Chain A
Amino acid sequence: MNVFLTGGTGFLGRRVVKSLREDGVQVRCLVRPSSDVRSLQNFVGQDLWGGVEIVPGELSNIDSCRRLIGESDTVCHVAASLSGGTAVMFLNTVIPTRSLLTAAAQVGVRRFVQISSLGVYGAAGLPTGAQLDERTPLDSHPELRDPYTYSKIVQEQIGWETHERANLPLTVIRPGVIYGPGRGVMSNRVGLKIGPLLIKMGGSQTLPYTYVDNCASAVKQACLAEGVDGEAFNILDDGLPTGSQLLRKLRRAGQGVRSLWVPRPMIGPLSSVYEWYSSWSQGQLPGVITRYRSDSMWKKLKYTNEKAKAQLGWRPLVTFDEAFARSLAGASA
């Protein structure tokens, strides 16, 4: 097997490269001309580096994507833009993905693994306490979500369109919030960071987290496993904490966060007030908080990773306590 992988120098991608190499898989790794390949090489290690082929380039059009895929039989598309406005996200995530999907279908790869996000679901429409799993529909109003989630939803829609139209053997991985050394454990799922202050939203909601090494092993399994074409998998760790539990754990570890608590019943009304003001003031305060977005982000939901365990044969081997310690220490074992 030879995997063409995008985003290989990134936070998740470098671990996927290493994980694939540990299973003896040859990896053809796309990098931007400006990417830090030496850092990737050090991370993967000399013993495994022999099976990594570095291909500089850009996913700028279908022809270049075909050339870049080369003789690879599997595509693993990890690269995505993490910041910027909606247009930037689309330029850097959606448009290259469309080219890559089309090229992969034309080349006839055995599998296309696309890294999506747990945020793609229409969580705003679910009742509080409902279970969110792979059968939950994608958000039908992606334009109302934040730029990152909007781009991931459209990216996934294009993936499924290509799967249907061009018979592309697609497997989608939907990780929760990926955390680990270098990225910390805090996220918007706990609350909003405004300068040094955290606006803690609720606290009893389970945080849909996955440790980066656990996530990387799930991506590897999605490349290797048989019989998972046309399937999507939520990737979440076991023993997930709530927002309050995470903050308590941080405080006990000596990393207290100054926070202002918004009780759960107040999240919706306050979001509505903010949304009204943003609209009334014609954007003097940007419309980053809306009722729809807060319902999508901070609603209490139940999560499951049973499908990934059953069909990918995946297990999140690093426990939350261990992952938490590694993340704070800033070093991966």
Chain B
Amino acid sequence: MPHSPSTPRLRMALIGCGQIADAHLQEAAKVASVEVVAVCDMHLDLAHQAAARFHVPGIYDNVDRMLAEIKPDVVHITTPAHTHGPLTLKVLAAGCHVYVEKPFTLDELEAEAVITAAESEDRKLCVGHDQLFDPTWLDCRSRIAAGHIGTVRHIESTLGYPISGQFGAVVAGDPRHWVRQLPGGLFQNTISHPLYRILDLLPDPHPRVEARWDRTKYEFPTELWVQLRGTDVTGSLTFTSSVYAQRVTRVYGDQGMLEVDFDAQTIRRHAAPKLPGAFGRLEMPFRQWREGARNLRRNLWRFLKSEIHYFSGMRNLMTAFYRSIQQNSGQPITNAEMLRVTRIMDEIFADCRAREAGVVEIASETQELEAVR
């Protein structure tokens, strides 16, 4: 990428060379303001493979040594979720800005500690809510701003996550897997994306949360339903392992609805027909055909410009974050928003646990009654 020599590039290091690290290293290479200087993993073999494939000079298996020797400007943390808080605190203490993968921390308490540390060290934070910067979501936001669906009233986010997939299968096969030790289990590692897509358009600091999880054939919960109620806007989140992999969000306004499919990179608008009776039945498929043609044209043009990338949102977020450091301007995702998403996740899991415990109590009471009879 061309880079203006007047602005020195920021030296980036990465901790945790697992699967998502590839995306960070791949996208960082496309951002002009970034120079990747080191990778670190407790397994040196993992650090070596990342360094070899992405041409990174520094290879470490010890975070303290890397921070002391490399002195990076920014550190990306792509380790398992339960390590995010302690590692972020350590990196902030070393004077670095931090980009941490989702989920931000293990819980609200940890999030508060991290944010307090960042503010006292005058360092910037970023969390991997990259789908907010995905071109399709940005397009959706501009269509909402242009009044295509009127006032936003409800957002519906669905995450289809077959457990038979690559990561899910590993989690399912290992009872001691770190994902299963998280307070919110599998969901804590996965629902950030569908949740922050809702919260992006649901501004209440404390929406009412109702949530329930359920099990299928696995020992741990694999289905989740969440209802969020704000003052003017509501939201619903569905995580299900029983459908094909999908990432879809529907934004309902008082005049129409926009459906954003992140995998297909399409946006479809639905609204009530303008024509009466049977004519409306012709108008609706015609409009859907027109929406389809619009999406095809848009994606074809993006393909020709080589703009269709799975992690476009991450690149955009990274660019914005590094710009905020260089220009000492506002972060692309505020600390308050990181805290709000973390708190609402805590409330979701607490509500799920409470309901599950309630069900267990009711079931055991019923069994006791049966025994007495």
Q: Which of A's residues lie within 8 Å of B, judged by CB?
A: 32-35, 58, 83-88, 90-92, 94-95, 98, 142-143, 150, 154, 158, 280-284
Contact = CB atoms under 8 A, between A and B. Distances in A.
Nearest to A286: B310
Given A32-B173, A87-B46, A284-B307, 8 more contacts: A83-B166, A85-B19, A87-B18, A90-B43, A95-B43, A143-B49, A143-B52, A284-B303
A158 B49 CA distance: 14
Contacts of B307: 284
Contact of A283 (B17, B50, B303, B309): B309
Contacts of A35: 173
Nearest to B176: A58
A92 B174 CA distance: 13
B174 A88 contact: no
B172 interface: yes
A142 B174 CA distance: 30
B320 interface: no
29 contacts: A33-B174, A58-B174, A58-B176, A83-B166, A84-B166, A85-B19, A85-B22, A86-B49, A86-B53, A87-B18, A87-B19, A87-B22, A87-B46, A87-B49, A87-B50, A90-B45, A90-B46, A90-B49, A95-B45, A95-B46, A142-B52, A154-B45, A158-B45, A281-B306, A282-B30, A283-B26, A284-B303, A284-B307, A284-B308
A85 B19 CA distance: 7
A283 B28 CA distance: 13
Interchain residue pairs A-B with the least CB separation, the first 4? A281-B306, A34-B173, A143-B52, A284-B306
Contacts of B19: 84-85, 87-88
Contact of B22 (A32, A58, A86): A86
A83 B165 CA distance: 11
Contact of A150 (B22, B49, B166, B308): B49
Given A95-B46, A150-B49, A87 B17 contact: yes
Contacts of A98: 45
A252 to B, nearest CB: 35
A299 B307 CA distance: 34
A284 B174 contact: no
Interface string B16-30: 011101100010001
A115 to B, nearest CB: 18
Contacts of B50: 87
